[in-house]
């Protein structure tokens, strides 16, 4: 009791002193340090883009939803254009900013938000625009006073052409924002570059008219980055191909994603075809101990490396020391993007792992390079191709795009064009990850991911041999050569291409060529479920190739699955083994009554994987015909029936063009 009394007395005296003591002096008030969200190493960490624009005197923000880097490239080009109209802009990744601040944009005079939005897969937003898309769907915000414009990047061979661009354009208007220029719809199946240029050359006059400004006439090239050469750099601080954290390839730490890929050893690399000119291959990547998880139907992304021969040739043509250690630092200190690629690094590393040197360069690259051509004729040709004139566009299309001239071919065919290698590295787009449908089931192969791919190799109109970056690189990934592991930087991208929740639901799979990949995983999983005693519905495959004796992929495995009953039907079309070509859609027509029963009575799920331009469209048209005939429907009713299957998730596509 005495102890309790003493404790109470001490607490009472302390409280009296604390609350009633005479304050001798004012305690200065300190401003709390605001906590900011931590982004990637390139981020400045400030998620309020409106405050940033006020602070840096900018009035145009160009957001991009980009999966392969093209939308980001277009956004940066638009933001650079702004200075020609006495305005200031910047390109912004919506993943790094709080888009709910959009309603405050009107606080800035003559402000404008531009959105370059790519559509990924079957009408989906790109990874970096997913949060923005979710916010737009749920937002109950008044955007009146906000001015905007949208350019969409899509591909007409896909069912949901430019779905993301169309949605953003429509939704912003619904929320009260004012569209100041019409929606642009770029088509990658045609000429995306030309679509963008055509839109852009009409967009800026509309901006000028709306805000009452005029072009400054300043067409000069503006460098975005400055070169810093490091002569005594500690090599432990130099990037050697890592995508994010320095030395991340030496000390691997999960979780693994696009900015932190896992180095997976190649345990198997075998040729799948028995003959023919093409090389089709099956690779197995070991993911043991990585905590990387995947499901059948997911995609594996791999970061390839450019051919060292091409890299060396660029160095030779430009007379550059490729082993020089350098950094390209953004001249705009407020920019979230400090470097165009991880720096410091060597030119060799940049050209090998970070830059796209095999695709034909876009017109903005030619425009910037033109100043370095000492021959007047060559300089004129470059400027002409970069112009918006019809003749210039035609010349660019024939000389660069159709001839598949990459940057090395352009340098070789224009002997007077010798730009500084640092400016070339600034201009070239980033080398992107390549996505492959996973050809295995994690139920059967929890510690490995399988890839099925065909090497890309063709002769151009100029007589050069062009090779696909990733497939050529993968082809040379030989398991444990001389005791050295062949490693592939990779991560898994989740997909909507999923087996039905109930194993008893029938599935119809259509996948010619390498489109067979996800279905190998599906069949493995259905076979495994059957072994577990589960009731598994009909598993039907329509596969196609050119010749039975040449490129029938996974023939032994498929025959065995069919023999064991895991594969209920195995329908194979050999397109060139007879006078008249036979494709998967022809086999569907032959079995049309059974196909209709599975769909209508069996509630089957349909899966299509492969070429989007012809196969996927022809298969879809075949389903329209089957539904119309056996469902006693008109053509519009049949189309509506199939579209509803898609909406319900019963008709899924994993296609590419």
The catalytic residues are 437, 609, 654, 656
Between strands 112-120 and 60-65, the pairing is parallel
If you ran DSSP here, which 8-state letter would residue 190 be given? S
Token couple for 44 = 């400045």
User: 156 labelled as ligand-binding?
Assistant: yes
User: 554 labelled as ligand-binding?
Assistant: no
Q: In this structure, are residues 91 and 31 in contact, taking their beta carbons and an 8 Å threshold?
A: no
User: 575 labelled as ligand-binding?
Assistant: yes
Q: Is the dihedral of CA 83, 88, 94, 96 positive or negative?
A: positive
User: 216 labelled as ligand-binding?
Assistant: no
User: 436 labelled as ligand-binding?
Assistant: yes
CA–CA distance, 114 with 129 (Å, rounded to integer): 14
User: 454 labelled as ligand-binding?
Assistant: yes
545 three-state secondary structure: strand
Q: In this structure, are residues 196 and 151 in contact, taking their beta carbons and an 8 Å threshold?
A: yes
Q: In this structure, are residues 490 and 252 in contact, taking their beta carbons and an 8 Å threshold?
A: no
Token couple for 414 = 């224009």
CA–CA distance, 624 with 643 (Å, rounded to integer): 10
User: 435 labelled as ligand-binding?
Assistant: yes
User: 69 labelled as ligand-binding?
Assistant: yes
Q: Is the dihedral of CA 396, 402, 405, 407 positive or negative?
A: positive
473 three-state secondary structure: helix
User: 576 labelled as ligand-binding?
Assistant: yes
User: 116 labelled as ligand-binding?
Assistant: no
User: 324 labelled as ligand-binding?
Assistant: no
User: 70 labelled as ligand-binding?
Assistant: yes
If you ran DSSP here, which 8-state letter would residue 602 be given? T
Token couple for 198 = 């055509």
Q: In this structure, are residues 570 and 559 in contact, taking their beta carbons and an 8 Å threshold?
A: yes
User: 460 labelled as ligand-binding?
Assistant: no
User: 526 labelled as ligand-binding?
Assistant: no
User: 71 labelled as ligand-binding?
Assistant: yes
User: 157 labelled as ligand-binding?
Assistant: yes
User: 312 labelled as ligand-binding?
Assistant: no
CA–CA distance, 338 with 610 (Å, rounded to integer): 39
User: 118 labelled as ligand-binding?
Assistant: yes
Between strands 605-611 and 651-656, the pairing is parallel
User: 188 labelled as ligand-binding?
Assistant: yes
User: 58 labelled as ligand-binding?
Assistant: no
Cα-Cα-Cα-Cα torsion 195, 198, 201, 205, nearest 10 degrees, comes to: -100
User: 100 labelled as ligand-binding?
Assistant: no
**Tokens 């008249």, residue located:** 580
396: exposed, middle or buried (Cβ count in 10 Å: 0-12, 13-18, 19+): buried
User: 229 labelled as ligand-binding?
Assistant: no
Q: Say how many C-beta atoms besides its own lie within 10 A of residue 321's C-beta.
A: 11
User: 560 labelled as ligand-binding?
Assistant: no
CA–CA distance, 612 with 610 (Å, rounded to integer): 6
User: 540 labelled as ligand-binding?
Assistant: no
User: 76 labelled as ligand-binding?
Assistant: no
Across the beta sheet with 434-437, what order do the strands follow?
A: 434-437, 299-302, 487-493, 262-271, 280-286, 448-454
Q: How far is CA 90 from the centre of its chain?
A: 21
User: 121 labelled as ligand-binding?
Assistant: yes
Token couple for 509 = 């799979």
Q: What is the largest CA-CA distance in the chain?
A: 109
DSSP for 605-638 reads: EEEEEEEIIIIIHHHHHHHHHHHHHHTT--HHHH
Token couple for 32 = 């709390």
Q: In this structure, are residues 135 and 141 in contact, taking their beta carbons and an 8 Å threshold?
A: no
User: 525 labelled as ligand-binding?
Assistant: no
| Partners of 606 in beta bridges | 508, 651
Report the residue count for the chain. Answer: 657
User: 210 labelled as ligand-binding?
Assistant: no
User: 278 labelled as ligand-binding?
Assistant: yes
User: 123 labelled as ligand-binding?
Assistant: no
User: 141 labelled as ligand-binding?
Assistant: no
User: 178 labelled as ligand-binding?
Assistant: no
CA–CA distance, 18 with 627 (Å, rounded to integer): 83
User: 119 labelled as ligand-binding?
Assistant: yes
Q: Is the dihedral of CA 260, 266, 271, 272 positive or negative?
A: negative
Token couple for 64 = 């991009």
Across the beta sheet with 569-574, what order do the strands follow?
A: 569-574, 539-545, 507-510, 605-611, 651-656
User: 468 labelled as ligand-binding?
Assistant: yes
Which residues define the annotated binding site for FMN?
66-71, 118-121, 153-162, 188
Which residues define the annotated binding site for FAD?
404, 434-437, 452-454, 458, 468-471, 656
Which residues define the annotated binding site for NADP(+)?
278, 514, 575-576, 581-585, 618
Which residues define the annotated binding site?
66-71, 118-121, 153-162, 188, 278, 404, 434-437, 452-454, 458, 468-471, 514, 575-576, 581-585, 618, 656
């Amino acid at each position: 009791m005495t102890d309790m009394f003493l404790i109470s007395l001490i607490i009472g005296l302390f409280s009296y002193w604390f609350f009633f003591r005479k304050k001798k002096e004012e305690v200065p008030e300190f401003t709390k340090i605001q906590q900011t969200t931590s982004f990637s190493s390139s981020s400045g960490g400030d998620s309020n883009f409106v405050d940033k624009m006020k602070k840096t005197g900018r009035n145009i923000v160009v957001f991009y939803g980009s999966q392969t880097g093209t939308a980001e490239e277009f956004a940066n080009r638009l933001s650079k254009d702004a200075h020609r109209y006495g305005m200031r802009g910047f390109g912004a990744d919506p993943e790094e900013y709080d888009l709910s601040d959009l309603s405050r944009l009107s606080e800035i005079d003559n402000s404008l938000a531009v959105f370059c939005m790519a559509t990924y897969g079957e009408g989906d937003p790109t990874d970096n625009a997913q949060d923005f898309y979710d916010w737009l769907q749920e937002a109950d915000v008044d955007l009146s006073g906000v001015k905007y414009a949208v350019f969409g990047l899509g591909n007409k061979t896909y069912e949901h052409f430019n779905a993301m661009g169309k949605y953003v354009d429509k939704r912003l208007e619904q929320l009260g924002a004012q569209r100041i220029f019409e929606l642009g719809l770029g088509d990658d199946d045609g000429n995306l570059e030309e679509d963008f240029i055509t839109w852009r050359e009409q967009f800026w006059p509309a901006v000028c008219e709306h805000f009452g400004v005029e072009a400054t006439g300043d067409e000069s090239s503006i460098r975005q980055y400055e070169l810093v050469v490091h002569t005594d750099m500690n090599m432990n601080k130099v990037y050697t191909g890592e995508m994010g954290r320095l030395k991340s390839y030496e000390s691997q730490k999960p979780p693994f994603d696009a900015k932190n890929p896992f180095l997976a050893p190649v345990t198997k690399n075998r040729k799948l075809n028995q003959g023919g000119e093409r090389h089709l291959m099956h690779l197995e990547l070991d993911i043991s101990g990585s905590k990387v998880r995947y499901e059948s139907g997911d995609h594996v992304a791999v970061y390839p490396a450019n051919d060292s021969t091409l890299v060396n040739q660029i160095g030779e043509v430009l007379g550059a020391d490729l082993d020089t250690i350098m950094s390209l630092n953004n001249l705009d200190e407020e920019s979230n993007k400090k470097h165009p690629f991880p720096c410091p690094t060597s030119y060799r590393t940049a050209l090998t792992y970070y830059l796209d040197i095999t695709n034909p360069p876009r017109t903005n690259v030619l425009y910037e390079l033109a100043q370095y051509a000492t021959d007047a004729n060559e300089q004129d040709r470059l400027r002409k191709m970069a112009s918006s004139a019809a003749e210039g566009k035609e010349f660019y299309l024939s000389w660069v795009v159709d001839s598949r001239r990459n940057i090395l071919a352009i340098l070789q065919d224009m002997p007077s064009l010798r730009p500084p290698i640092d400016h070339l590295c600034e201009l070239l787009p980033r080398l992107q990850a390549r996505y492959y449908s996973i050809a295995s089931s994690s139920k059967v192969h929890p510690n490995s991911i399988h890839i099925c791919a065909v090497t890309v190799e063709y002769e151009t109109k100029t007589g050069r041999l062009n090779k696909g970056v990733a497939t050529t690189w993968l082809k040379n990934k030989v398991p444990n050569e001389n005791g050295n592991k062949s490693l592939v930087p990779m991560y898994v991208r989740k997909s909507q291409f999923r087996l039905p929740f109930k194993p008893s639901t029938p599935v119809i799979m259509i996948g010619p060529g390498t489109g067979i990949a996800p279905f190998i995983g599906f069949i493995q999983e259905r076979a495994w479920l059957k072994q577990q005693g589960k009731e598994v519905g009909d598993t039907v495959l329509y596969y196609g190739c050119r010749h039975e004796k040449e490129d029938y992929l996974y023939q032994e495995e498929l025959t065995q699955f069919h023999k064991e009953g895991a594969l209920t039907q195995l329908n194979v079309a050999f397109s060139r083994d007879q006078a008249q070509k036979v494709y998967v859609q022809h086999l569907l027509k032959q079995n049309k009554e059974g196909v209709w029963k599975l769909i209508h009575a069996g509630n089957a799920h349909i899966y299509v994987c492969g070429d989007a331009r012809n196969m996927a469209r022809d298969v879809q048209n075949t389903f329209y015909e089957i539904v119309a005939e056996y469902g006693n429907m008109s053509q519009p009713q049949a189309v509506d029936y199939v579209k509803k299957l898609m909406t319900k998730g019963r008709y899924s596509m994993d296609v590419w063009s």
